[in-house]
Amino acid sequence: MKKKNNIIFTGGSGKFGKVFRRIHQNKEILYPASNQLDIKNYKSIKKYLSKFKPKYFVHTAALSRPMDIHNKNLVSSIETNIVGTCNVVRACSERNIKLIYFSSNYVYPAKKGYYDEKSAVLPFNNYAWSKLGGEAAVQMYKNSLILRICMTEKPFLYKKAYANLKTNFMFHEDLAKVFFKLINKKGIINIGGKSQSVYGFAKKYNKYVKKNKLNTNSLPLNSTMNVSKFRKLI
């Protein structure tokens, strides 16, 4: 990047953040800890932005797993994912900083699948509602990009994989590698890999993975997205 420290990245200690930092270790990017930039505190964000004057704000910090935490600790979910994102939008809008927000494919209804960026949204669970709540604020700020993402860790961590759950998994590192091809885009982009079952995805990388069946409504059975827009950009 031409300008030193012109990117601020929240969530740098998270799973994706760690991969992103490793891949882009030679770029001048700031990864503030929560005691340096607290997204739940608007004044904290404003002070940090005033000091470093970034051009881009990549917002990946969020409360995510385990999923039931968004039921058991509703207030924390709201304060982090919704109010925290509202604070980020407010602070970025005051300085016209480009905001890139990491959302989720779970904001879609997860019934018929193959949702594109114009499809109606209907979150599957409280986690998805919290991400859509953040999206609502970001949508109001035009100098922004929303990424609705479906990704997972590499290697695939589980010994069993669902054969009846369809998704668009891609690995963290695959998104990290192409991220800068997206940074100047605006609007909404679905991010993910090939539409297939979790078992089909996992079997490609681990021939020993066992087939499993999801028998509850704890996860969306078909949250697949149309990712053609993303594919054209990379």
In three-state secondary structure terms, 104 is strand
pTM: 0.95
pLDDT at 189: 98
pLDDT at 1: 38
pLDDT at 4: 59
Q: Which of 226, 195, 209 is nearest to 161 (CA)?
A: 209
Element (H, E) at 8: strand 7-10
Check the CA dihedral 212-210-148-136 and report its sign: positive
CA pair distance 56, 2, nearest whole angstrom: 13
Query: Which domains are delineated in the chain?
Result: 7-151+168-193 (3.40.50.720)
Burial readout 78-96 (b: 16 or more C-beta within 10 A, e: otherwise): bbbbbbbbbbbbebbbeee
Residue 99 identity (one-letter amino acid): L
In three-state secondary structure terms, 134 is helix
pLDDT in tens, the chain (234 residues): 344 569 999 999 999 999 999 999 999 999 999 999 999 999 999 999 999 999 999 999 999 988 889 999 999 999 999 999 999 999 999 999 999 999 999 999 988 999 999 999 999 899 999 999 999 999 999 999 999 999 999 999 899 999 999 999 999 999 999 999 999 999 999 999 999 999 999 999 999 999 999 987 788 899 999 999 999 999
